[in-house]
Amino acid sequence: MVASQARTPAAVATVAQAEDKVGWGLASPLGLAYLAFFAAPLLLLGSISLFEDNELTKLGFANWIKFLGDPFYVGAIWRTIVLGVLTVLAATVLAYPMALLFYEAAPWLRRLLLFIVVLPLLTSVVVRTFAWIVLLAREGVVNQTLLSIGLSPVPLLQTQHGLVLALMQIELPLMLLPLLAVMQGIDRSLVEASRALGASRWRTFFKVLLPLSVPGWVAGATLVFASATTAFISQSVIGGGRLVYLPSVIWQQAMVISNWPFAAVASIMLLVSVLTGIVALNAVGRFIDPAGR
């Protein structure tokens, strides 16, 4: 008893200490794995982009100059970023109503909602692509429905809006999960106070719920943007050959033409585009909610 009491201050100190210093020893196994199998391959990717020929014998910037000097490839960067932004916007428009419903819902309904949100994550991306062909094709389900209610069919497959729609299905859960987590934590009394002061539901949403939920939105939008810009299979099948995005450039250069250095350049540009987009999203988040992280 005495002995253990004697140990007490030291033990408390170690716990307290752990609060302001990173436990490098604990972090190092994962850190080393990242160094060996994450950082090293990416560095290698960077080095390969600096070779001019496929046999990796001649150093130079030829592939960088070719990529950045060609309006087609620069256009592919732009298109990829636009695709990411559109998907984020579309996902936002649909995610917020669901999040609001979730906010108001009873516990059992919340569970059901969450289940529906998670469902698409469980459907293989390969099969989902087929399902979207079925839904979006010229004589597909969506167009048949439009016809039956007296509207004229619209081209969806092989168009950008069709692709955004398809991407939204898989990306929506990525936005909703963090958003719902934040919404759950919003103090109900704030909303009630707003209404009691005579604010409409719209005003309450824009002045109270929206600003408070921004951190969740930023987290979700980041994942959506990153995932939509790199969704190779959906892009090439649903978007089709008339819309060329960076991932299909990477695939073609690496696997069809087997030009590694050029594929490496395209990969790095994809990395840079995604990171730029994410930095911008976080800036937007801070602009809307300066108090947020």
Partner 1 sequence: MKHPRPDRRQVMAGAAAIGGTALFGGSAYAKGSVTAAIYPGSWDEQYRSIVLPALKKAHDVDLALEPLFAVDQIAKAVAARGVAPFDSFVLDPGPRVTAIERGLLEPFDGKKLTNASKLAATGIDGWGAAVNSQIVGIAYNPKKLPKPKSWKDLFQEPYVSKLGLTGFQTTFGTVSLIEMAKAFGGSEANIEPIFAEIKKILSKVAAVTPPAALPGMFQQGQIDVTYTNTNNVSTLKARGVDIEFAMPEEGAITFVTTLHIAKGGENKDNAYKYIDTVISAAVQEALMKSPAGLLPTNKEVVLAGDQPIKSLDELSKLVSHDWTKINPQRAAWIERFNKEVTK
Partner 2 sequence: MTRRVTWMDASYFAVIGALTLIAFLVLVGPVIVVIVTSFTTSASLKFPPPSFSTRWYFDLFDPVKSRHIHSAAYNSLWVAAVATAAATLLAVPAAMAIARVRTKAARTVEATFLAPLILPTLSYGLATLMFFTLLGYRPSLWLLTIGHLIVISPFVFRTTVASFTQLDPVLLESSASLGASRFYTFRRVTLPLIVPGVAAGAFLAFVASLDNVPVSLFLSNARTDMLPIRMWGMIESTLDVRVAAISTVLIVSVVVLTLVMERLVGLTRRMGG
Residue 74 binds which entry of partner 2, partner 1, none, CB below 5-8 Å type-dependent: none
Among 76, 98, 208, 238, binds partner 2 (CB under 8 A): 98
SS3 for 52?
A: coil
Check residue 260 for interaction with partner 2 (CB under 8 A).
yes
Measured distance CA(207)–CA(201) in Å, rounded: 10
Residue 126 binds which entry of partner 2, partner 1, none, CB below 5-8 Å type-dependent: partner 2
User: In sequence order, what are the residues at sequence separation of 6 or more whose Cβ sits closer than 8 angstroms to the Cβ of residue 94?
Assistant: 168, 172
Cα angle vertex 162, ends 160, 167, to 5°? 90
Nearer to partner 1, 12 or 133 (CB): 133
Check residue 226 for interaction with partner 2 (CB under 8 A).
yes
Check residue 247 for interaction with partner 2 (CB under 8 A).
yes
Output b/e per residue, 68-103; b: 16+ Cβ within 10 A: eeeeebeebbebbbebbbbbbebbbeebbebbbebb
Among 126, 149, 196, 197, binds partner 2 (CB under 8 A): 126
Measured distance CA(271)–CA(26) in Å, rounded: 29
Q: Please choose, from the candidates 230, 12, 195, 173, the residue with its C-alpha nearest in 3D space to the C-alpha of residue 104.
A: 195
Check residue 97 for interaction with partner 2 (CB under 8 A).
yes
- The residues that touch partner 1, with contacts defined as CB under 8 A, are 35-37, 40-41, 43-44, 47-48, 54-57, 59, 72, 75, 130, 133-134, 137-140, 157-158, 236-237, 240-244, 252, 254-260
Check residue 121 for interaction with partner 2 (CB under 8 A).
yes
Output b/e per residue, 175-208; b: 16+ Cβ within 10 A: bbbbbbebbeeeeeeebeebeeeebeeeebbeeb
Smallest gap from residue 37 Cβ to partner 2 (A): 5
Smallest gap from residue 133 Cβ to partner 1 (A): 5
Residue 97 binds which entry of partner 2, partner 1, none, CB below 5-8 Å type-dependent: partner 2
Give me 44's structure tokens: 């290698």
User: In sequence order, what are the residues at sequence separation of 6 or more whose Cβ sits closer than 8 angstroms to the Cβ of residue 132?
Assistant: 157, 162, 166, 169, 234, 238
Distance, CA of 127 to chain centre: 20
Check residue 186 for interaction with partner 2 (CB under 8 A).
no
Nearer to partner 1, 28 or 258 (CB): 258
Measured distance CA(76)–CA(92) in Å, rounded: 24
Among 87, 169, 194, 236, binds partner 2 (CB under 8 A): 169
Measured distance CA(260)–CA(90) in Å, rounded: 35
Among 156, 157, 172, 238, binds partner 2 (CB under 8 A): 172
Smallest gap from residue 188 Cβ to partner 1 (A): 48
Among 52, 156, 213, 216, binds partner 2 (CB under 8 A): 216
Residue 212 binds which entry of partner 2, partner 1, none, CB below 5-8 Å type-dependent: none
Residue 270 binds which entry of partner 2, partner 1, none, CB below 5-8 Å type-dependent: partner 2
Residue 78 binds which entry of partner 2, partner 1, none, CB below 5-8 Å type-dependent: none
